[in-house]
């Protein structure tokens, strides 16, 4: 991705709204996420024609239709692979991938991890509602163990993925979490993702008010946030709580633990460093909560620089062309050639 463009014209949210009626269920968390994305692009002064939104299948995957940008609504799970083609072909574009937990961690899990490990220049927004909404209520690969759903009337027996842990394990260079109840936080994370060069993975906790209502209420409700959300701020000790009385420290095994500051003292708190080359500490932070029932870190877990895939492909193309562009005749005559004359 080239330098962040700015245009002299001040843009508004409506510049990124398409003429299509938004058709998510009334009250769906996706509305707020869509709005945040549109407002982020407007604030950034991004060129609409340089934004490409790629999606797979699922409720979240309808996202591109509502954006006044270039969009491709693909097939289930394949958005990261389609987006890889766009990003490698055109490093000048900003390529966004929008999908849900089923799309990106079940049917498309393979493409998600490979896009992240390659560090393709993508902004991946994974809208996690811990349920299959479009197919009307089956458990998903991020649903909690024991989930009662249409396909698991006796409770699911599958251990869920922790998407942040997976992304870190897949060598993602930018990993963040946000939630649909906090527009400013979402916009801050989307902006960081936009500005990051390489794969940016953002998990967005999103409420499905029809099939999994209130899944995140225990941590994202206004009166819960200070005690249940752990803000990750680069360079600062990690602390939270109504009176900022709790914090996070690493134990002797390198595991992250929630502690009372009164017990351990402020000096023992982990100072968050999103730029650490080694993802071990970021991973430890991702293990603080196994689901939205425990204090949960929000913000940027990891933001490191690594050459992105499209850039390296481009580099090889340029190096190969240093001796001049390809010559077709020379190519096809690169094996021994003989001439047969007319008799």
- Where does this chain touch another protein (CB under 8 A) — which range of 73-81, 142-150, 196-204, 279-287? 73-81
Nearer to another protein, 135 or 227 (CB): 135
Task: Tell me the closest approach of the beta carbon of residue 107 to another protein, in angstroms.
Answer: 10
Residue 333 binds another protein, judged by CB under 8 A? yes
Query: Under the criterion CB under 8 A, does residue 45 sit at the interface with another protein?
Result: no
How far are the Cα atoms of 255, 257, 304 from residue 186, in angstroms, in the given order?
Answer: 27, 26, 20
Stretch of 28-36, 129-137, 273-281, 326-334 contacting another protein, by CB under 8 A: 326-334
Q: Shortest CA distance to 48 belongs to which of 98, 96, 113?
A: 96
Of 52-60, 165-173, 202-210, 231-239, which part binds another protein (CB under 8 A)? 52-60
Instruction: Please give the size of the binding site for another protein, defined by CB under 8 A.
Output: 60
From the CB of 70, what's the least distance to another protein, in Å? Answer: 4
The one among 44, 69, 187, 296 contacting another protein by CB under 8 A = 69
Q: Which is nearer to another protein, 53 or 201 (CB)?
A: 53
Q: Determine if 48 is a binding residue for another protein (CB under 8 A).
A: yes
Interatomic CA distance for residues 150 and 154, integer angstroms: 9
H or E element: which one contains 198? none
**Can residue 152 be called a binding residue for another protein (CB under 8 A)?**
no
According to DSSP, the β-strands at 131-132 and 229-232 are: unpaired
Q: Considering beta carbons, is residue 262 or 323 the nearer one to another protein?
A: 323
State which residue, 54 or 284, has the beta carbon closest to another protein. Answer: 54
Least separation, in Å, of the C-beta of 120 and another protein? 10
E-strand spans in 40-108?
Answer: 51-55, 70-73, 94-100
Measuring CA to CA, how many Å separate 121 from each of 73, 144, 283, 309?
19, 31, 22, 7
- The residue whose two tokens read 């050459």 is 307
Which SS3 state, helix, strand or coil, does residue 194 take? helix
Of 233, 225, 263, the closest CA to residue 246 belongs to: 263
In Å, what is the CA distance from 138 to each residue of 28, 75, 76, 216? 17, 19, 16, 18
Residues in region 83-142 near another protein by CB under 8 A = 83-90, 92-93, 110-111, 114
Angle at 195 between CA 189 and CA 196, to 5 degrees: 90
Q: Given the rule CB under 8 A, which residues bind another protein?
A: 18, 20, 47-50, 52-54, 64-65, 67-75, 78, 81-90, 92-93, 110-111, 114, 313, 316-317, 319-321, 323-326, 328-329, 331-333, 335-343
């Amino acid at each position: 991705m080239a330098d962040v463009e700015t245009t002299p014209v001040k843009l508004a949210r409506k510049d990124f709204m398409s003429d299509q009626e938004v058709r998510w269920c009334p009250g769906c968390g996706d509305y707020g996420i869509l709005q945040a994305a549109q407002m982020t692009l407007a604030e950034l002064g991004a060129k609409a024609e340089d934004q490409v939104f790629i999606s797979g299948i699922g409720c979240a995957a309808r996202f591109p239709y509502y954006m006044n940008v270039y969009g491709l609504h693909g097939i289930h799970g394949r958005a990261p692979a389609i987006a890889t083609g766009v990003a490698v072909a055109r490093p000048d574009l900003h390529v966004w991938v929008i999908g849900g937990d089923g799309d990106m961690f079940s049917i498309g899990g393979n493409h998600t991890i490979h896009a992240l490990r390659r560090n393709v220049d993508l902004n991946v927004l994974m809208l996690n509602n811990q349920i299959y909404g479009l197919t009307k209520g089956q458990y998903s690969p991020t649903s909690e163990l024991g989930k009662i759903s249409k396909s698991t009337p006796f409770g699911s027996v599958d251990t869920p993925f922790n998407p942040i842990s997976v992304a870190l394990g897949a060598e993602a260079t930018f990993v963040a979490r946000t939630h649909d109840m906090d527009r400013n936080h979402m916009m801050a994370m989307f902006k960081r993702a936009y500005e990051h060069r390489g794969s940016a993975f953002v998990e967005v906790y999103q409420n499905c008010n029809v099939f999994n209502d209130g899944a995140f209420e225990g941590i994202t409700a206004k009166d819960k946030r200070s005690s249940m959300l752990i803000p990750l701020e680069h360079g600062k000790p990690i602390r939270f709580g109504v009176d900022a009385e709790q914090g996070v420290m690493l134990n002797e095994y390198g595991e992250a633990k929630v502690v009372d500051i009164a017990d351990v003292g402020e000096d023992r708190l982990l100072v968050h460093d999103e730029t650490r080359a080694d993802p071990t500490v970021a991973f430890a932070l991702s293990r603080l909560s196994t689901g939205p029932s425990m204090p949960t870190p929000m913000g940027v877990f990891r933001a490191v620089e690594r050459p992105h895939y499209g850039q390296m492909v481009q580099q090889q193309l340029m190096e190969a062309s240093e001796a001049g562009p390809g010559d077709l005749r020379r190519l096809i005559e690169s094996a021994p050639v003989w001439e047969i004359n007319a008799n």
